[in-house]
Amino acid sequence: MLSLETDLQTERDHLAASRAALKRMREHAEDLYATGDQVAGDPFAAETLGRHLARRIADLADNPDTPLFFGRLDLDEHRYHVGRRHVTDAAGEPMVLDWRAPLSRKFYQASARDPQDVDVRRRFGFVKGELTSFEDEHLGRGEEQGTSQILLDEIERPRVGPMRDIVATIQPEQDELVRAELDESICVQGAPGTGKTAVGLHRAAYLLYLHRERLRRAGVLIVGPNTAFLQYIASVLPTLGEVEVRQSTIDGLLATPVRAVDDERAAEVKNQDKMAAVLQKRLLARIRRPEEALTVSDGSYRWRISAEALRRIVDDVRREAPPYATGRERVRARVVSLLMRQSEARRGDSPGEGWQRRMGKVAPVAELLDAVWPAVTPEQLVFEVLSDPIDEDLDEAERAALRWAKPPKSAKSAKWSAADAVLIDEAAGLIDRVPSFGHVVVDEAQDLSPMQARVIARRSEHGSITLLGDLAQGTAPWAARDWGTLLSHLGKPGARVVPLTTGFRVPAAVVALANRLLPALGVDVPAARSLRADGALTIGTVGEIDGSVVNAVRSALEQPGSVGVIAADAAVGALAEAIRAAGIAIAAAEDTDSDARVTVLPAGLAKGLEYDHVIVVEPADIVAAEPRGLNRLFVVLTRAVSRLDVLHARPLPAPLDGLSSAPM
Ligand SMILES: Nc1ncnc2c1ncn2[C@@H]1O[C@H](COP(=O)(O)OP(=O)(O)OP(=O)(O)O)[C@@H](O)[C@H]1O
């Protein structure tokens, strides 16, 4: 016991010394920042250095609630503490090793069977930033714990506020994914609560650490399903020291503001992958083969290019298939080049750049371009397709669904829907190149339509992707039934698909309930198993919904943690009213900082979120509200971290039929 206390004290001393070292590193960076103007040779260098140092100072901030290290590795000769960032002493010796450093990998991967030179792996337990315990595994002696108590404490802790990082407890199968090579695209099929989102965010942080310069230039993008979700995950990367990652919904990536709503059928047709071909054909149909020769006056000279030579230029460029706008410029450049050759032959010297620019713009050349390769905006192209959808690949019903209900006068006055914005992005990608990110993480990817997938494909053409999702949680009308098809739309057909099945959120009893829905969902996915034996599930028949929900919220509030009331979208307003009328404060779904512990949430927004206590209201209504209602119910039931109440006045949906349901 004494030795344990002594050990704990030694570790606390190391923590204090590491804190002091971090402070020294920060002060050093601050000093450099203050004197930056003098050390840098010129204003540009001063600004670059200043930005670098400001970032470094932010990186070195010490948050008293997040322990500087969480583990220790005893190797043959050396002992390393593993933490959130590198900390070195005044002599440059490591005091804390960044979790992403190659050596730290042993902390996550070593096992009794494969100790990887690790004699002892130590995990630390913290309470509010205080080091309170540790667990040792003597891997060198072939000893290994079963499931770590520190991990169990971590996953069972009450969830309040935004999502937290999991660096201290990343599991070996998660670590494999986090540390996959930058060039490798991967797809994670993960049952609810298996840590897909966590893996995606940590992979982004890991890649930024290893390939900082390359990724800083190209950028890293995280795509999530809605703003409530983005708020929920927003603080994970900053706690890992990464602040320069763009986080967006699909709509947020698009340049077109959404000001209209499609009916279901129109949205479905517009999201089919064949719309890409429809747009492309329509665009290429603008290109005409020249029929007349071109004559250009140039002072006392007249140059002439035959119709045949012009046709050859247009045919060649078309065959090269550059983006449309590049094609137009290429035709212009080749026409000018032929003019130049004539000029050289006649005048005996090469005309300069000014001449070439002028020739590119003279009226006959401009007219030729407008006739054979007319300029077009993405909006104009989509406007034309929706005004007159004549493509032979569309049947009559599809054409009718596409046609404007009330045709606008022009592309400029059109009000675009979310699906139109995706079509406009597709058109923009046909006309011009879209810059590609170095790495893109897509969460809840099962809900991407083929056309939305192409939005991401354009932005990851020269980079890699991490695709995260669960086919069982697909709720959009176009949700993926298999990953292979979606991966082809994303331009990464060969990506590895890796399943995750160990759940860290949902208690076993709740997983068993949700798994009953799986056979009815029409997708082939492995069922989850939960690491959590705790947790409570109540299924109750009630007479009157509102009053019963208020009672359930009251008793949920007697326990620590967050409470999520999830109901069919149409029922949420009245429920929130009833809860407020009972004097209970409610937080908005986007507001993860609110003091109120209760959130009332439409089923449509529950994806990706979690609450300690979830109250699901009238499952039959959630199922009836949409075509993939059972998938929606699967999502909703799996949001609970500790306790789930299912309240129903109507019979439960068929797959849950026969479950014992006590009157409440
Ligand atoms: N290795 C881990 N250690 C501790 N907690 C973990 C670990 N992996 C995941 N978790 C926790 O489990 C919960 C679920 O993780 P996450 O939201 O990433 O799962 P998900 O697979 O994206 O879930 P869903 O598909 O239901 O949205 C989170 O609270 C997360 O912090």
pLDDT, tens digit (0-9, with 9 covering 90-100), for 110-125 = 888 888 999 999 998 8
pLDDT number for residue 163:
73
Q: Is 96 helix (H, G, I), strand (E, B) or coil?
A: strand
Q: At what angle do helices 629-637 and 508-515 cross, to 10 degrees?
A: 170
pLDDT at 285: 96
For residue 509, how far is its CA from the centre of ligand 1 (angstroms)?
Answer: 17
Does position 56 have pLDDT exceeding 90, yes or no? no
- 389 is an annotated ligand-binding site residue: no
Q: Look at ligand 1, atom 1, and give the residue with the nearest C-alpha.
A: 170
Helical ranges in 224-323 per DSSP H: 227-233, 236-239, 250-253, 264-270, 274-284, 307-320
Whether the per-residue pLDDT at 61 is higher than 70: the answer is no
Atom of ligand 1 nearest to the CA of 201: 18
- Give the torsion through C-alpha atoms of 494, 500, 506, 509, to 10 deg: 120
Mutate to test the pocket of ligand 1, among 164, 177, 188, 196 (most ligand atoms within 8 A of CB): 196
Q: How remote is the CA of residue 456 from the centroid of ligand 1, in Å?
A: 24
**Helix (H, G, I), strand (E, B), or coil: what is residue 52?**
helix
User: How far away, in angstroms, is 188 Cα from ligand 1 center?
Assistant: 13
- Residue nearest to ligand 1 atom 15, measured at CA: 195
235 vs 106, higher pLDDT? 106
Confidence band for 369, pLDDT divided at 50, 70 and 90 = very high
Question: 505 CA to middle of ligand 1, Å?
Answer: 6
Does pLDDT of 608 surpass 90? no
Q: Which atom of ligand 1 is nearest to the CA of 469?
A: 25
pLDDT, residue 160, reads 62
Percentage of the chain modeled with pLDDT above 70: 92
Has 412 been labeled as part of a binding site? no
Q: For residue 492, name the pLDDT band (cuts at 50, 70, 90).
A: very high
- Given a cut of 80, whether residue 309 has pLDDT beyond it is yes
In the chain, % of residues over pLDDT 90:
59
Q: 658, 586, 595: which is closest to 615 by C-alpha?
A: 586
Nearest CA to ligand 1 atom 3: 169
Q: Residues 207, 211, 214, CA angle at the centre, nearest 5°?
A: 120
Q: Compute, in angstroms, the gap from residue 470 CA to the centroid of ligand 1.
A: 13
Using the atom order of ligand 1, give the atom closest to the CA of residue 190.
Answer: 21
**If we measure between CA atoms, which residue out of 271, 224, 283, 281 comes closest to residue 422?**
271
Q: Is 184 exposed, middle or buried (0-12, 13-18, 19+ CB in 10 A)?
A: middle
Of the listed ranges 148-152, 243-247, 298-302, 637-641, the least confidently predicted one is 148-152
Q: What is the pTM of this model?
A: 0.86
Mean pLDDT of 198-221: 89
Instruction: Return the residue matching tokens 């402070």.
Output: 23
Å from CA of 197 to ligand 1 middle: 7
Give the pair of three-digit tokens for residue 100.
């992403």
Atom in ligand 1 nearest the alpha carbon of residue 639: 26
Whether residue 460 has pLDDT greater than 70 = yes
- Report which protein residue has its CA nearest ligand 1's atom 27: 608
Q: How many angstroms from the chain centroid is the CA of residue 646?
A: 30
pLDDT for the residue 154: 73
CA geometry: angle at 491 spanning 490 and 494, to 5°? 105
190 is in an annotated binding site: yes
* Residue 364, annotated as binding a ligand: no
For residue range 494-505, what is the model confidence (pLDDT) as tens digits?
899 999 998 888
Token code pair at residue 49: 């250095």
DSSP designation for 408: -
> What stretches of 167-306 show up as alpha helix (H) in DSSP?
172-178, 196-210, 212-218, 227-233, 236-239, 250-253, 264-270, 274-284
Q: Is the pLDDT of residue 234 over 60?
A: yes
Ligand 1: atom nearest CA of 174 is 1
Q: Are 201 and 482 in contact (CB under 8 A)?
A: no
What's the pLDDT at 370?
Answer: 97
Nearest ligand 1 atom to the CA of 470 is 25
Q: Which two tokens stand for residue 434?
A: 């879209």
191 known ligand binder: yes
**Is the pLDDT at 41 greater than 70, yes or no?**
no
Residue whose C-alpha is closest to residue 463's, from 226, 246, 193: 246
pLDDT of residue 42: 66
Distance from residue 503's CA to the centre of ligand 1 (Å) = 7
Q: Which of 227-241, 260-274, 568-582, 616-630 shows the lowest mean pLDDT across its residues?
A: 227-241
Ligand 1 binding residues, C-beta < 6 A: 151, 154-155, 166, 169-171, 174, 190, 192-198, 470, 473, 504-505, 608, 610, 638
Contact status, residue 513 vs residue 637, Cβ threshold 8 Å: yes
The protein residue whose alpha carbon is closest to atom 23 in ligand 1 is: 193
User: Where is average pLDDT lowest: 154-168, 360-374, 393-407?
Assistant: 154-168
**What average pLDDT does the chain have?**
89
Radius of gyration in angstroms for the set of CA atoms belonging to the chain, rounded to a whole number: 30
- Please state, in angstroms and as integers, the Cα–Cα distance from residue 63 to each residue in 35, 232, 238, 240, 653, following that order: 26, 19, 11, 11, 47
Was 129 annotated as part of a binding site?
no
State pLDDT tens for residues 310-334: 999 999 999 999 999 999 999 999 9
Query: Is pLDDT larger for residue 161 or for residue 654?
Result: 654
Neighbours of 104 (CB within 10 A): 20
Measured at the CA of 230, the angle between CA 627 and CA 536, to 5 degrees, comes to: 65
Distance CA 225, CA 626 (A): 18
CB atoms within 10 A of CB 245: 22
Amino acid in the structure at residue 128: K
pLDDT at 662: 63
Which 8-state DSSP code applies to residue 557? T
What is the pLDDT, as a whole number, of residue 112?
85
Distance CA 607, CA 439 (A): 23
Q: How confident is the model at residue 474 (pLDDT cuts 50, 70, 90)?
A: very high
Q: What is the pLDDT of residue 266?
A: 95
pLDDT of residue 52: 64
The answer to whether the annotation marks 196 as part of a ligand binding site is: yes
Residue 288 has pLDDT above 90, yes or no: yes
pLDDT band at residue 488 using 50, 70 and 90 as cut-offs:
very high
Which band of pLDDT confidence, cut at 50, 70 and 90, is reported for residue 37? low
323 is in an annotated binding site: no
Given the CA of residue 194, which atom of ligand 1 is nearest to it? 21
Pocket test for ligand 1, best of 237, 610, 641 (most atoms within 8 A of CB): 610
Q: Is the pLDDT of residue 244 over 90?
A: no
Tens digit of each residue's pLDDT (9 = 90 or more) over 533-552: 888 999 998 888 889 999 99
